[in-house]
Structure 1
Amino acid sequence: MSYYYRAYGLSIVSDFLLPPLPAGPPATVTDLTIRRGQLPARPSFVGSKAYRAGINAQFAQTEQGDLWLDWPPLISFMALNGNELIVDTTQTDDQVISLFTLSEALGLILFQKGYFLLHGSAVRIGNEGVVFLGEPGAGKSTTVAAFAGKGSRVISDDMVCIRLSMTGDHQLIPAFSQLKIWESSVIGLQLQQESMTPVREGMDKYSWHESIAFEEKAVPLKQIFVLLPPNEPGRVDSPLPSSQVPVELLHHFPLPDALLTGKGLKDYFEKSVALARTTPLFRMSRPADFAALHTFVDQLNAIG
């Protein structure tokens, strides 16, 4: 049985149920096929920074450009030509398969398609998109949840996908309707916990996807914020000089660093330079308490 979905602007046909993606009718053209299969003999793997369910992923790539991601012994992926993702697993739990598929594994396909990727979250403010980057625990999802609580449309959570333009009219490609936030943030932001479901990655983390306002069309990219440790009352620094932006963005690449060698590194750096020419990047310290964060969101909404 096949299931049909849409995420990151791609028409997807899958052998697996992929919650929380809403199933739809078959598309005229399929951009990505996700199928079950037994992978061939494995190449040499290297470690990566990707963790899911407490398991560290191993990464490999072949001379033909095939990309492998392996979470032993649970599940393995191979991305082919930007249009096929082979899944090798004995897992039967749809939630578990979806957790691993709709993360770095799908990111491999987006990378092969030439999109510019960042580990972060994005939200629409007015008619434009704003990206929030930061180290794990910096509050990317919490900040976006604060905007969503005020009615702003979420564009993506965890991985940001950017379609670059030669004219500088870069666009954020919507991911899918889900925002994963800690229970403390749900309570602090006074969100409706009953409209969320627990995340398999942790008992104190929730998935907000059914009642969230989600953007379904590409949104012009306005600016990027790198979140710093929170303080009172919160501040936004002056834009980073454009010459420093490419180095900053390298720190927020969401996929295995082994992809950024040789031609891959050259390509990513050139795209970073193109992005820096037209998109300001700010360092932002969000407020330390939730009440002040609501006020801070109102201020940024007013600017937008």
Structure 2
Amino acid sequence: MRVPENPARTVRATPVTTYNYVMSGLSVRSDVEMPSAILAEASGGGEPDVTITIGEVPAHLAAATRVGGDWEFAPGEFLLRLRDLMKVYVTGGSSILLEPAATCDPGDLTLYLLGTCFAILLQQRGRVVLHASAVAVGDRAMLFCGASGMGKSTMAAMLSERGYPLLNDDVCNLSPDADDRYSVYPDGRMLKLWSGSVDHLRWTATEDARIRHDAEKFYMAPASVDLKPRIVGGVYMLHAAEAGATATVEPLNAAESMSLLTVNAYRPALVKAMQMVPTYFAASAALQRHAGVFRLSRPMDFSRAAESLDVLEAHWAGIR
């Protein structure tokens, strides 16, 4: 099992090099090394889709139309102040400017950069961003949503062991086509797994792969990865089954689907702040109509994990 190479554990005020990645189908040139992302070839001299730089972030937006306690919004601009971590200025769906605090843990910098900050950028591009993991099943993407700790990343990791390539972990970027079918744009990033999941998979975690110095969570390379966009074939809401119950898959009706998909937006507060609630409602309706939204209830006991995977595979065989 591969593990990430030794990541840099310092944030340089003046970067000595840049890094190239593919994130959510976009080419990214970054001043910040991101150990959770898979390095890509440079864009051949052309301009990347996204640049991530370190510098001085403005104190306020001159044309802010909405202001919260730690953020300011204007069309095409978003300013975010993350307590003692950093200030972030995201513009035009193409640029992220970071000003890390002196006390910012590099692990936190990467987590917020690839999570909240990149979600803001994607939404500036009109994309829908779900708090979900995804794997490829043939020419379709199967998504797994659920509250933190419900096992989205672990489910994707176990399925990658069964030959279903990882598309996304934690953050899923969706965009519709002319027929209102939504596709997932892969991230090319490592899985983030708690030590219990790593042990169950019999993978090897090293200190260099630790996400934060004080957390038993690690960046782990999946068994297989695919960077080809795929149309969403199904969305599964992860649910803990009652004690002694078996794993089941059941379809959700339109009202349940819309409610749960909206709740599982990546940072619902951002969706409201950026006035994108109608976009997410439309996406929820389209996903329920074209792909289907299901509840996957399963035992949370690792010793019964294979049961859930068998039920999923049987379900996929029935909907192809």
Of 212-221 and 292-301, the range deviating more from structure 2: 292-301
**Residue in structure 1 matching 2:71, options 46, 59, 63:** 59
Residues in 2 aligned to 1:256 and 1:271: alpha-carbon distance in whole angstroms: 14
Of 158-167 and 13-22, the range deviating more from structure 2: 13-22
Q: 1:167 to 1:299 in 2, by over 3 A?
A: same
Q: Deviations over 1:238-278 (max 9, x none)?
A: 31112432222111111251532684222221222222221
**Residue in structure 1 matching 2:91, options 75, 80, 89:** 80
Residues in 1 aligned to 2:148 and 2:263: alpha-carbon distance in whole angstroms: 12
List alignment gaps of at least 5 residues for structure 2.
1-16
Q: Deviations over 1:188-208 (max 9, x none)?
A: 233344698222174311211
Shift of 1:137: 1.4
- Give the structure 2 partner of residue 46 of structure 1: 68
Shift of 1:16: 2.1
Residues in 2 aligned to 1:37 and 1:150: alpha-carbon distance in whole angstroms: 44
- Give the structure 2 partner of residue 32 of structure 1: 50
Shift of 1:103: 1.2
Residues in 1 aligned to 2:153 and 2:33: alpha-carbon distance in whole angstroms: 25
- Give the structure 2 partner of residue 54 of structure 1: none
List alignment gaps of at least 5 residues for structure 1.
48-57
Of 132-141 and 236-245, the range deviating more from structure 2: 236-245
Shift of 1:100: 2.4
- Give the structure 1 partner of residue 233 of structure 2: 222
Aligned 8 A contact 2:237 2:295 in 1: yes
Aligned 8 A contact 2:238 2:297 in 1: yes
Residues in 2 aligned to 1:151 and 1:192: alpha-carbon distance in whole angstroms: 19
Residues in 1 aligned to 2:68 and 2:268: alpha-carbon distance in whole angstroms: 9
Identity level (%) = 25
SS of 2:210 mapped into structure 1 = strand
SS of 1:238 mapped into structure 2 = strand
Q: Deviations over 1:102-124 (max 9, x none)?
A: 11111111111111111111112
When normalised by structure 2's length, the TM-score is 0.82
Of 20-29 and 178-187, the range deviating more from structure 2: 20-29
Map of 1:281-296 to 2, 5 A cutoff? 281-296=293-308
Give the structure with the higher percent strand.
1
Q: 1:238 to 1:107 in 2, by over 3 A?
A: same
**Residue in structure 1 matching 2:246, options 224, 229, 234:** 234
Aligned 8 A contact 1:131 1:225 in 2: yes
